[in-house]
């Protein structure tokens, strides 16, 4: 599937702004972003529920941009499942097959296959209102998968479930995708869900697709401050890119950074260095090993979180958050202590401010 | 030393207070409902009982009604062919009216429900406007419109179709009834279409349903409560309509409403009029209940 310069305007509001995206066959792809970032609109354009204002949308090489939803090889699992309340589970699941004029015998067989695939056997005659949230979720999945779409779209599929069920369904979803081998594109605002489930993630904000990459790439090498901030936590140190692998921080220190890819930022630009709290080492002042960029400051707060301790260290030009393991072999620092912080050169990323 | 009340006692006391509050609330509700309750008993239940009593009474040879010799003669009369024909004619007419109302009202209600708030409010007010004019006046207005030499007739004549003679025909009655009861169809339909979850329509489209198929399989079944409610609201008054058939149909064909009036005023056979009124109402009530029960189970 490929999107080229796809945009969607609602009156004057730009919901999706010139998105380019390729999703491979059999991939589990997540569109991640805060609410209102355009991820759902993008999904709806793929589904055919919105027609793009501009751009080209191809599925398996054929242009589907202006086609109505019933003429696309995609199916959707809707946010609140949108099960038909006046039909039984079996009729819900068989709806797509009946609409596409599948022979009756095939419908019955495929419906029962799909129902057992999502482990809902024995519930065929129930109405959606008689099912729990997790069960409705499974029926919605079966209803979409039974049609053997080329692409399955999922709009916040787990948002309506409680935490425990959500984790369980995450696992099931991943397994199901491996079993059926269909491309899954799912929309979520939950970064953990995106990291846990997907092969690749596309991070969106204000209608723009900021970065596409594997969960590791997105986490370790964000290119945009928004991406680094939205996925996990991060400290942002302002500076200027002096060479493709060197940044001059706002306090005048020079730090070595992983080489910046072309097109993200160029030499001479104002940039920010993203420094994950758990990637920062902390020790007594002056104890920083040679050969590392380091900063010194005073501990402002200490927060104990059980498995970890979070220090907020005040520098004279900013505050840095550091997260360390809570282990007996590590020194604990108290409020007011002078400490040194350092990091490996490859532990940081240069991002667009 | 202060003695703290133990937790159980406190809880019991709190529960007691809460219960007393609920009882008071219920009593207050009853008090508020009392005026309308009294009104209904006085002007609805009591007359109904009177009608029921009269239906068992005897018509004397002079045309007055004797409240003695209780019998079922009036009910036996309802089985006679003349009454049967009136009933059949009324049912057919009411059915035609209901179907026409449904066909006209559904697209309109659908259109309304899918507009912006401003447009829909404007349209709904437009639906209500006729109610601001007296029903009788509106019927006379139709008489004028449909009369030979009236606007409609002149129009068809001017475009070469010749004059139309609609007034005092069954068509005129149906036109009048559809006009009169259309709002009763539109409003419940609007309410049910407005409540429809459009995501279900999207889901059906996503599952390969074409527009018409989506309407048949999802929109229509889910708005069925509105269809049923509207149909009852149109069918029931159409069955017993009196003014419109008299004014626009010219009383040529006797319908139930006219027949009942005739029994009371002309034939002076109050027991028959009363029995027919009562049976009509009972049948309507029972069928309405059955209809709603069935509908409630399916949806």
pLDDT of residue A344: 87
CA separation for the pair A98, A143 (Å, rounded): 12
pLDDT of residue B1: 47
Confidence check: pLDDT of A134 > 70? yes
Judge whether A230 and A219 are in contact, CB under 8 Å. Answer: no
Confidence check: pLDDT of A82 > 50? yes
CA separation for the pair A206, A37 (Å, rounded): 5
pLDDT of residue B4: 55
Confidence check: pLDDT of A267 > 90? no
Judge whether B197 is closer than 8 Å to chain A, CB to CB.
yes
- Nearest Cα of chain A lies from the Cα of B203 at a distance, in angstroms, of 6
Lowest mean pLDDT of A16-30, A85-99, A201-215, A255-269, name the range: A255-269
CA separation for the pair A274, A281 (Å, rounded): 15
**pTM across the whole model:** 0.80
- Nearest Cα of chain B lies from the Cα of A209 at a distance, in angstroms, of 25
ipTM of this complex: 0.83
Instruction: Using DSSP, state whether A80 is helix, strand or coil.
Output: coil
Assign A78 a pLDDT band (cuts: 50, 70, 90): very high
Lowest mean pLDDT of A90-99, A157-166, B288-297, name the range: B288-297
- A contact test, residue of B196, B198, B208 with most A CBs within 10 A: B208
Domain layout of chain B by residue ranges: 7-55, 78-298
**pLDDT tens for the 299 residues of chain B, in order:** 455 556 677 677 777 877 787 888 888 888 999 999 999 999 999 999 999 999 999 888 887 888 888 888 889 988 899 899 999 999 999 999 999 999 999 999 999 999 999 999 999 999 989 888 888 999 999 999 988 888 888 888 888 887 788 888 899 999 999 999 999 999 999 999 999 999 999 999 999 999 999 999 999 999 998 998 899 889 989 998 999 999 998 877 889 999 999 999 988 889 999 999 999 888 888 888 887 776 554 43
Mean pLDDT of A288-308: 88
Quote the distance between the C-alpha of residue A208 and its chain's center: 14
- The residue of chain B with its CA nearest to that of A128 is B299
Residue A281 belongs to what H/E stretch?
Answer: strand A281-284
- A contact test, residue of B200, B201, B207, B223 with most A CBs within 10 A: B207
B78-298 maps to CATH 1.25.10.10:
no
Mean pLDDT of A158-184: 87
Tokens representing A243 are 């060479």
Highest mean pLDDT among A17-21, A251-255, A261-265: A17-21
- Nearest Cα of chain B lies from the Cα of A40 at a distance, in angstroms, of 14
- Per-residue pLDDT tens digits for A35-65: 989 999 999 999 999 999 999 999 988 898 8
Q: What is the 3-state secondary structure (H, E, C) of B30-81?
A: HHHHHHHHHHHHHHHHHHHHHHHHHHCCEECCCCCEECCCCCCHHHHHCCCH
């Amino acid at each position: 599937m490929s999107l080229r310069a796809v945009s969607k305007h609602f009156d004057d509001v730009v919901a999706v702004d010139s998105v380019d995206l390729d999703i491979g066959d059999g991939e589990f792809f997540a569109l991640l972003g805060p609410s209102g970032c355009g991820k759902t609109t993008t999904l709806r354009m793929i589904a055919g529920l919105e027609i793009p204002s501009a751009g080209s949308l191809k599925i398996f090489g054929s242009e589907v941009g202006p086609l109505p939803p019933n003429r696309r090889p995609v199916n959707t699992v809707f946010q609140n499942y949108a099960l038909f309340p006046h039909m039984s589970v079996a009729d819900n699941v068989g709806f797509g097959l009946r609409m596409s004029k599948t022979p009756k015998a095939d419908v019955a067989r495929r419906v029962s296959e799909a129902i057992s695939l999502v482990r809902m056997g024995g519930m065929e005659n129930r109405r959606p209102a008689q099912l729990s949230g997790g069960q409705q979720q499974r029926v919605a999945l079966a209803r979409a998968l039974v049609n053997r779409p080329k692409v399955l779209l999922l709009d916040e599929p787990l948002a309506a479930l409680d935490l425990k069920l959500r984790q369980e369904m995450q696992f099931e979803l991943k397994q199901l995708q491996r079993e059926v081998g269909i491309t899954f594109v799912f929309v979520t605002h939950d970064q953990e869900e995106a990291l846990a489930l997907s092969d690749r993630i596309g991070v969106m904000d204000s209608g723009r697709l900021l970065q596409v990459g594997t969960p590791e790439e997105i986490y370790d090498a964000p290119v945009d401050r928004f991406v680094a901030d939205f996925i996990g936590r991060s400290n942002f140190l302002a500076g200027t890119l002096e060479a493709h692998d060197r940044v001059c921080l706002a306090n005048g220190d020079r730090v070595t950074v992983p080489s910046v890819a072309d097109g993200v930022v160029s030499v001479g630009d104002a940039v920010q260095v993203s420094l994950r709290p758990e990637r920062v080492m902390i020790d007594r002042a002056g104890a920083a090993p040679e050969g590392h960029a380091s900063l010194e400051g005073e501990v402002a707060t200490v927060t104990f979180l059980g498995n970890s301790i979070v220090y907020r260290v005040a520098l004279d030009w900013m505050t840095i958050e550091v997260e360390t393991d809570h282990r007996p072999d590590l020194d604990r620092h108290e409020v007011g202590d002078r400490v040194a912080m350092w990091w490996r050169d490859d532990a940081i990323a240069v991002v667009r401010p | 030393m202060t003695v703290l009340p133990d937790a159980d006692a406190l809880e019991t006391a709190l529960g007691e207070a809460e219960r007393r509050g609920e009882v008071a609330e219920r009593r207050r509700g009853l008090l508020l409902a009392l005026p309308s309750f009294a009104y209904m008993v006085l002007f609805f239940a009591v007359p109904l009982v009177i009608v029921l009593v009269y239906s068992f009474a005897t018509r004397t040879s002079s045309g007055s009604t004797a409240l003695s010799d209780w019998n079922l003669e009036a009910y036996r009369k309802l089985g006679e062919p003349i009454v049967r024909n009136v009933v059949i004619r009324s049912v057919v007419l009411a059915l035609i009216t209901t179907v026409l109302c449904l066909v006209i009202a559904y697209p309109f209600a659908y259109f309304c429900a899918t507009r912006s708030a401003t447009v829909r409010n404007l349209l709904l007010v437009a639906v209500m406007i006729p109610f601001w004019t007296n029903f009788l006046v509106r019927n006379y207005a139709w008489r004028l419109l449909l009369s030979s030499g009236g606007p409609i007739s002149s129009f068809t004549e001017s475009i070469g179709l010749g004059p139309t003679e609609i007034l005092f025909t069954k068509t005129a009655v149906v036109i009048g009834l559809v006009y009169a009861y259309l709002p009763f169809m539109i409003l419940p339909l609007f309410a049910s279409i407005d409540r429809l979850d459009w995501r279900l329509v999207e889901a059906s489209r996503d599952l390969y349903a074409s527009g018409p198929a989506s309407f048949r399989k999802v929109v229509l079944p889910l708005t069925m409560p509105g269809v049923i409610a509207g149909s009852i609201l149109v069918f029931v008054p159409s069955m017993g309509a009196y003014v419109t058939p008299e004014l626009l149909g010219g009383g040529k064909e006797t319908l139930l409403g006219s027949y009942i009036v005739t029994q009371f005023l002309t034939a002076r056979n109050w027991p028959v009029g009363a029995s027919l009124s009562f049976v009509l109402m009972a049948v309507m009530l029972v069928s309405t209940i059955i209809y709603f029960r069935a509908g409630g189970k399916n949806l």
